[in-house]
Amino acid sequence: MLEALTKYLASHRELKIIDPEAIASILVGLLIYFHITQDALHGIDVIPMQGDRIINATIDLMIKSRR
């Protein structure tokens, strides 16, 4: 999965990602963290966070970093 994501990010030069492998690792780590905190640790009951918010915030960070 990490290799496929790295290749995908590298193939989209318009994203201007300097290190696609590092970004791919960060994105996978983010998804794992989100799953663990929301589902495995029942964070959804304590600090609920919708997946859409995480995705939108991540996209926002990537877009702002291009400027």
pLDDT tens-digit map of 30-65: 999 999 999 999 998 988 999 999 999 999 988 887
**Confidence (pTM):** 0.82
Mean pLDDT along residues 1-17:
93
What pLDDT does 47 receive? 87
**At residue 28, what is the residue type?**
V
CA 37 from chain centre, in angstroms, equals: 15
Q: For 17, left (φ over 0), alpha (ψ -120 to 50), or beta?
A: beta
Per-residue b/e over 8-25, b at no fewer than 16 CB within 10 Å?
ebeeeeebebeebeebbe
